[in-house]
């Protein structure tokens, strides 16, 4: 597949980094997506927070592991999520 231009950025749709729910190592805690901090389709930089997950009384920001264009999955705010569950993808920028 070719590259797609997004503004002045070149995105390779075949190269993507999955964003998954990390293992919080809190036995029995329900994990809830408490909010999206980045909109789907937005350019993100590595380390930028994408969403917040509540694990019991703890709220953790999930950062982008790579720079690119963030695409959210169909996970809604206040939905229960599981360790390893897909939150979205980051289409890598060339």
Per-residue pLDDT tens over the stretch 26-38? 888 899 999 999 9
DSSP 21-90: ------TTPPEEEEEESS-TT-EE-TT-EEEEEEETTEEEEEE-SS-EEEEE-SPPTT-EE-TT-EEEEE
Whole-structure pTM value: 0.80
Within a 10 A sphere around the Cβ of 18, how many other Cβ atoms?
12
Domain locations in the chain as residue ranges:
4-93
Within a 10 A sphere around the Cβ of 54, how many other Cβ atoms?
17
Q: What confidence tens digit (pLDDT) does each residue in 9-67 have? A: 555 556 889 999 999 888 888 999 999 999 999 999 999 999 999 998 889 999 999 99
For the 4-93 domain, the top CATH level (class) is mainly beta
């Amino acid at each position: 597949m070719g590259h797609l231009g997004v503004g002045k950025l070149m995105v390779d749709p075949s190269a993507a980094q999955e964003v998954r729910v990390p293992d919080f190592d809190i036995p029995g805690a329900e994990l809830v997506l408490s909010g999206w901090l980045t909109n789907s389709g937005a350019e993100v930089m590595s380390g930028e927070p994408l969403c917040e997950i509540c694990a019991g009384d703890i709220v953790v920001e999930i950062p982008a592991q790579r720079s690119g264009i963030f695409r959210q999955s169909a996970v809604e705010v206040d939905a229960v999520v599981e360790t390893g569950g897909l939150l979205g993808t980051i289409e890598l920028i060339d």
